[in-house]
């Protein structure tokens, strides 16, 4: 049985303020929850509408009705399970291999897609400006499809971090060098900018390799690529020569 | 002045049924509306909360309050302008250059992102299965950022079309040939599958070049790439040797 107060407490985790105060977040659906459990995220409670997750400690598992799950869910149509996990403490940043830096990427869907993409391309570390969307926003958690269990996402003063790193710092700009003809290193930081404003002038100062994705449309009217699709193309270029 | 019935009629265009009956759709924001006007889409009405679009026929321009615009808008936060356009008749399919085929891509945001991406990479034709998201869904229109004005999107019996084309048909599969080592032609069709189920077995029969985007993550757990990010990588590979 689940109490009204319990439902309220879970639904409260839809807001950033409550997530930060309680240090908990929600994940929905068997795939995402399963990946977080496998990765060792600490489970607070698991709400299910049917028999699922036989290995989970029964004292943490609560059977609920679909209507109850719907009131806790952040999805427009609730799944058959919802878990509350502890937000783990930030791990130290590993300056190894390829790192993705996000300069105020605000859309939760974009952040989630980029985390999933980093997981695909073996990027283990993402560093985010403090204004970037929050990793534990339910929309981000869902869009990662469980990949947030395998990528370390850190929130820092991005301009300060980039000004001190010894790795080469790549940024995409309209006037950058054609990415298709550049020799790209195995180690480095790729900066992706805000959806509307691109890379901020403060962060731009730390960029020492300006790159660009060429445009092929005839009319030259396409304003820009979506940040997640630009990330896909840039990461693919960094990795393609390793095959 | 705008009447209650007029507001109702515009808001009705949020649903597919009403769009198809009236053959009209809505677009919001100065950028998207401006691109559609430039491309010759036929304007029915333009609702603005401030002085915008000085060149538009004043008899079609109606000044509204923010609250009125909010009631017509399909966005969570309305912009300062909303236009109602006629849905143009389907143009014939041009079997030239690179073509993208969508096999039941259901998410409006994904379709919009793919249209924008095709515009960037100079793809002029998208062919969609009948179950693919509808181009004139407000979420698609917004996600294209105006690119739908420059890409011809056609809805057809996709399996039948692909079985008859003389162009090579590419599809991404887990067991396909590594796309990074393939020689890709200038003319061809790239099939992208449904978000959950990939390419359907019927369409798969028409695929004669199976390709794959290699995975670099260590744990090999990442299930798949989002269809829009996969599209970005594949289109980039087709174009990179033309630079």
Q: What is the pLDDT of residue A95?
A: 87
> B195 near B107, Cβ under 8 Å?
yes
Q: What is the pLDDT of residue A241?
A: 82
Kind and range of the H or E element at B204? helix B201-204
A74: closest CA of chain B, how far (Å): 16
Yes or no, beta carbons of A233 and B228 under 8 Å apart? no
B120: closest CA of chain A, how far (Å): 5
Nearest to A120 among B222, B239, B242 (CB): B222
Mean pLDDT of chain A: 93
Segment A180-209 shows an average pLDDT of 95
Q: What is the pLDDT of residue A146?
A: 86
Nearest to A145 among B214, B223, B243 (CB): B223
Encode burial over B116-153: b for 16+ CB neighbours within 10 A, e otherwise: bbbbbbbbbbbbbbeebbbbbbbbbbbbbbbbbbbbbb
Angle (deg, nearest 10), helices B227-239 and A227-239: 60
Q: Is the pLDDT of residue B219 over 60?
A: no
Nearest to B120 among A31, A121, A216 (CB): A216
Q: What confidence tier does B145 reach under pLDDT thresholds 50, 70, 90?
A: confident
Segment A192-220 shows an average pLDDT of 90
Yes or no, beta carbons of B242 and A216 under 8 Å apart? yes
Nearest to A217 among B150, B216, B217 (CB): B150
Q: What percent of chain A has pLDDT over 70?
A: 97
Q: What is the pLDDT of residue B96?
A: 86
Q: Is the pLDDT of residue A134 over 90?
A: yes
Q: B98 — phi, psi (to 5°)?
A: -95, 130
Q: Is B122 on the interface with A (CB under 8 A)?
A: yes
| CB-neighbour burial class of residue B13 (10 A; exposed 0-12, middle 13-18, buried 19+) | buried
Q: How many CB atoms lie within 10 A of CB A68?
A: 21
Q: Is B196 on the interface with A (CB under 8 A)?
A: no
pLDDT tens figures, B115-130: 999 999 999 999 999 9
Q: B80 — phi, psi (to 5°)?
A: -105, 5
Q: What confidence tier does A242 reach under pLDDT thresholds 50, 70, 90?
A: confident
Q: What are the beta bridge partners of residue B42?
A: none
d(CA A194, CA A202): 13
Yes or no, beta carbons of B119 and A222 under 8 Å apart? yes
CA distances from B84 to B9, B51, B54 (A): 10, 18, 17
Q: What is the pLDDT of residue A224?
A: 78
Q: Is A181 on the interface with B (CB under 8 A)?
A: yes
Residue B160 neighbours by CB under 8 Å, 6+ apart: none
Best mutation target, B31, B35, B233, to test chain A (most A CBs within 10 A): B233
Yes or no, beta carbons of A226 and B113 under 8 Å apart? yes
Q: What is the pLDDT of residue A96?
A: 86
Nearest to A116 among B31, B226, B236 (CB): B226
Q: What is the pLDDT of residue B224?
A: 78
d(CA B54, CA B182): 51
d(CA B235, CA A172): 18
Yes or no, beta carbons of A221 and B150 under 8 Å apart? yes
Segment A95-99 shows an average pLDDT of 92
- Pairwise pLDDT comparison (B225 vs A189), residue with the higher score: A189
Q: What is the pLDDT of residue A46?
A: 97
Q: Is B107 on the interface with A (CB under 8 A)?
A: no
A45: closest CA of chain B, how far (Å): 24
> B54 near B81, Cβ under 8 Å?
no
Task: Name chain B contacts of A116, Cβ cutoff 8 Å.
Answer: 222, 225-226, 229
Q: What is the pLDDT of residue B223?
A: 67
CA distances from B42 to B25, B83, B86, B145 (A): 11, 10, 6, 18
What ipTM is given for this predicted complex?
A: 0.89
Using the structure block, give the residue that is written with the tokens 């029964």. Answer: A58
Task: Name chain B contacts of A146, Cβ cutoff 8 Å.
Answer: 221, 223
Q: How far is CA A50 from the centre of its chain?
A: 29
Closest CA to A140 of A7, A14, A6: A14
Tokens of B147: 């690119």
**What is residue A122's DSSP assignment?**
T
Yes or no, beta carbons of B109 and A113 under 8 Å apart? no
Q: Is A39 on the interface with B (CB under 8 A)?
A: no
Q: Is B242 on the interface with A (CB under 8 A)?
A: yes
Mean pLDDT of chain B: 93
Q: Is B228 on the interface with A (CB under 8 A)?
A: yes
CA distances from A65 to A26, A53, A62, A79 (A): 18, 17, 10, 12
Best mutation target, B192, B226, B235, B242, to test chain A (most A CBs within 10 A): B226
Q: Is A236 on the interface with B (CB under 8 A)?
A: yes
d(CA A175, CA A193): 15
Q: Is the pTM of this model over 0.80?
A: yes
B1: closest CA of chain A, how far (Å): 33
Closest chain B residue to the Cα of A220, Cα to Cα:
B120
Q: B155 — phi, psi (to 5°)?
A: -105, 125
Q: What confidence tier does B95 reach under pLDDT thresholds 50, 70, 90?
A: confident
Segment A124-135 shows an average pLDDT of 97
Yes or no, beta carbons of A217 and B122 under 8 Å apart? yes
Yes or no, beta carbons of B217 and A31 under 8 Å apart? no
Closest chain B residue to the Cα of A114, Cα to Cα:
B229
């Amino acid at each position: 049985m689940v109490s009204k107060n319990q439902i309220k407490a879970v639904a409260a985790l839809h807001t950033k303020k409550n997530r930060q105060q309680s240090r908990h977040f929600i994940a929905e659906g068997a795939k995402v929850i399963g990946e977080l459990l496998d990765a060792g995220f600490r489970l607070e409670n698991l709400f299910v509408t049917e028999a699922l997750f036989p290995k989970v400690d029964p004292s943490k598992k609560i059977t609920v009705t679909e209507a109850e799950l719907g009131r806790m869910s952040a999805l427009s149509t609730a799944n058959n399970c919802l878990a509350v996990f502890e937000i783990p403490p930030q791990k130290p940043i590993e300056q190894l291999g390829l790192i993705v830096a996000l300069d105020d990427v605000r859309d939760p869907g974009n952040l989630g897609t980029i985390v999933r993409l980093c997981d695909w391309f073996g990027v283990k570390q993402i560093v985010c400006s403090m204004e970037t969307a929050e990793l534990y926003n339910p929309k981000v958690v869902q869009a990662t499809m469980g990949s947030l269990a395998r990528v370390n996402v850190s929130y820092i003063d991005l301009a300060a971090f980039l000004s001190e790193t010894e790795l080469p710092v790549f940024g995409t700009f309209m006037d950058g060098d054609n990415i298709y003809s550049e020799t790209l290193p195995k180690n480095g930081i790729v900066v992706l900018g805000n959806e509307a404003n691109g890379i901020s002038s403060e962060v731009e100062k730390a960029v020492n390799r300006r790159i660009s994705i060429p445009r092929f449309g005839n009319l030259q009217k396409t304003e820009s690529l979506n940040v997640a699709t630009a990330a896909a193309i840039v990461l693919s270029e960094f990795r393609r020569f390793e095959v």
